[in-house]
Amino acid sequence: MLMGRLAVDGKYGGFGLGSLLLADALKRIGKAEIAAYALIVEAKDEAAIGFYRHFGFTSFEDATKHLFFPLANLR
């Protein structure tokens, strides 16, 4: 499953809204029982890569800006 851009307006950065949005997305995916192996994201920069890694995402070996989160980790 590929997730489109996850972003928070700069005016509201630093309040944890990105974390809340990601947590909500993962919660919804878990409830939907989607037949997929992982959630895949494309990070736009190093800060975004760090953000996703903080939540357990792993970079693909051949594309560091592409990360995945095994959906089995939601259970």
**Tens-digit pLDDT string for the chain (75 aa):** 999 889 999 999 999 999 999 999 999 998 887 888 999 999 999 999 999 999 999 999 988 899 999 999 887
Question: What are the sequence ranges of the domains in the chain?
Answer: 10-74
Q: Topology of domain 10-74, per CATH? A: Aminopeptidase (3.40.630)
Question: Is the entire prediction scored with pTM above 0.85?
Answer: yes
**The two three-digit tokens of residue 53, written as one number:** 């890694």
| DSSP assignments along 11-65, one per residue | GGTTSSHHHHHHHHHHHHHHHHT-S-SEEEEE-SSHHHHHHHHHTT-EEETTEEE
Write the CB contacts of 44 (distance below 8 Å, at least 6 apart in sequence): 5, 65
